[in-house]
Amino acid sequence: MDSITIALAQLNPTVGDIAGNLEKLRAARQTAADKGADLIMSTELFISGYQPEDLVMKPAFLAACEKVVEALAKDTTDGGPGVIVGFPRQGEAGRHNSVAVLDGGEIIAIRDKVDLPNYGEFDEKRVFVPGEMPGPVNFRGVRIGIPICEDIWGELGVCETLAESGAELLLSPNGSPYYRGKVDVRHQVALRQVIETGLPLVYLNTLGGQDELVYDGGSFGFNADRSLAFQMPQFAEEIMLSKWRRGADGWIIETGEMAALPIGEASDYHACVLGFADYVNKNGFKSVVLGLSGGIDSALCAAIAVDALGAERVHCVMLPYRYTSEDSLKDAADCAKALGCRYDIVPIEEPVTGFMSALADMFEGTEEGITEENLQSRTRGTILMAISNKFGAMVVTTGNKSEMSVGYATLYGDMNGGFNPIKDLYKMQVYGVSAWRNGARPDGMLGPERDVIPQNIIDKKPSAELRPNQTDQDSLPPYPALDDILECLVEKEMSVEAIVARGHDVETVHRIEHLLYIAEYKRRQSAPGVKITKKNFGRDRRYPITNRFRDR
């Protein structure tokens, strides 16, 4: 065989929807057949969806996955493309993260993942056992090595073993989640294996939001000479044909699509939209509701929601109190109008007064303070949850990573909600992403073009408006300084001494460190949200709630 056409299925599966994922792959195989492909490749654990977590501990789940792989194998009696399909299975030694190669009505080979990741968002060693070092699969006369995700990222030498045992090319199914700049990291990982093995390599990444993780696609292929043969888009499904020919020195991928990829704020925004859309749609919510305060966080969340779902599925509610400024009322109304979504005003004066009256005897002789401020927030949260219950709309919570880091949020108040699209964006990133969205509407988005967030929202000083003339900087350092300190503490795990050496005041750093630690109990009760940075609050950072350590 001197040429082969391999269809690459960069698709969006749903965890647990075994039948739906099977039908999605069957449809992709038919498309590949119509285009003359010899083989179609799917992504890591495609049949189960990725990551299935403890679902794979259920024997019934594994049996269902294995059953549909057998059914898919029977499809290949039609003489059409063979299939490389990812699925979990029960082996003699335990559960495996596997791929099956299907052709001629049979499962002609199974390969198991060798290197199981156990860091950050991954804990596969908890649910899978490693496979043995694999050899290549002979598919219609072509010896294909199939290293699964971490098998090319890790240091166990899986690709080298495949090359030494006769593999002519490497096809790697992946489940690699997004963070800013991840495409370049993947390219470097793949190039290292190309250099070490002298073989061409295809990196096929899965797509879609799964709880807090976003898989951004962005699949690609490198030839043995280290040249980029093709680049598939991020954040979009695609079935791409890669055409190969056998040269004097081995297999060569013909130059194909070179998709332009979003960078910086653009890629972050795409990730927020995809993660939000899939969370809402895959969990069956018909619509969403959020409190639109006139501030930048809720405005950006509203824009993301409209771009993800369409304006007709987004309900914005202004919940004013005596401290809500005229500017905020106007800004919220202008934002909802620009986005084209439903907008209602529900004043909270009466319910807040009712709470205060009920507590008057108990609170007699005490001074007003944070308790009364938080009652405003909790009243708003209660009203939004009532709207959610009545109309079946998921509440969107809108706190940024800076606020969640230091606990500048109210439990059972503004933290109420089912999902937070900006949970992993620091405040200054919120400003950057908002400014970017005002200047462009990405392809595939459902919202209006440009200027969806009024400029006054971006320009004005941020405020919770829970007391007269309040600004965030009454309680927190300026956001550029705060975000730098937080990034040093959270993402980089730097010492206080090292952070102070960057030019920050030592008492301020100690205070922020203390706030970060004592807010852990709040974060444990916060809604899930899209992972954007290398280290989000959740899987990536597992700190105890009860913790007396301070870096003194």
Q: Residues annotated as binding site?
A: 119, 176, 182, 291-298, 374, 398, 403, 522
Catalytic residue among 24, 113, 401, 531: 113
Cα separation of 127 and 56, whole Å?
7
Torsion of CA 236, 241, 246, 247, to 10 degrees: -60
Instruction: Specify binding-site residues for ATP.
Output: 291-298, 398
Instruction: Specify binding-site residues for deamido-NAD(+).
Output: 374, 403, 522
Residue 11's closest CA among 167, 215, 169, 191?
215
Structure-block tokens of residue 430: 């919120």
Bond before 473 cis per omega within 30 degrees: no
Helix boundaries (H) for 407-505: 427-439, 455-459, 479-490, 496-500
Q: Strand 314-318 to strand 342-345: parallel, antiparallel, or no bridges (unpaired)?
A: parallel
Residue 457's closest CA among 345, 342, 297, 304?
297
Q: Mapped to the 3 state alphabet, what secondary structure does 137-193 carry?
A: EEECCEEEECCCCHHHHCCCCHHHHHHHCCCCEEEEEECCECCCCHHHHHHHHHHHH
Catalytic residue list contains 44: yes
Neighbouring C-alpha atoms within 13 Å toward the C-beta of 485 = 28
3 state DSSP class of 428? helix
Cα separation of 221 and 172, whole Å?
10
Cα separation of 345 and 335, whole Å?
14
* Cβ neighbour number for residue 549 with a 10 Å cutoff: 9
Catalytic residue list contains 301: no
Structure-block tokens of residue 359: 């507590």
Does an H or E element contain 507, and which?
A: helix 506-518
Structure-block tokens of residue 164: 């030494």
Catalytic residue among 44, 66, 212, 487: 44
Residue 91's closest CA among 69, 116, 62, 120?
62
| CA terminus-to-terminus distance, the chain | 67
Instruction: Specify binding-site residues for L-glutamine.
Output: 119, 176, 182
Catalytic residue among 24, 65, 66, 149: 149
Residue 309 near residue 402, CB atoms below 8 Å: no
Catalytic residue list contains 460: no
Q: Kindly write down the DSSP assignment for every residue of 66-126, as one continuous string.
A: HHHHHHHHHHGGGS--EEEEEEEEE-SSSEEEEEEEEETTEEEEEEE--S---STT--GGG
Catalytic positions are: 44, 113, 149
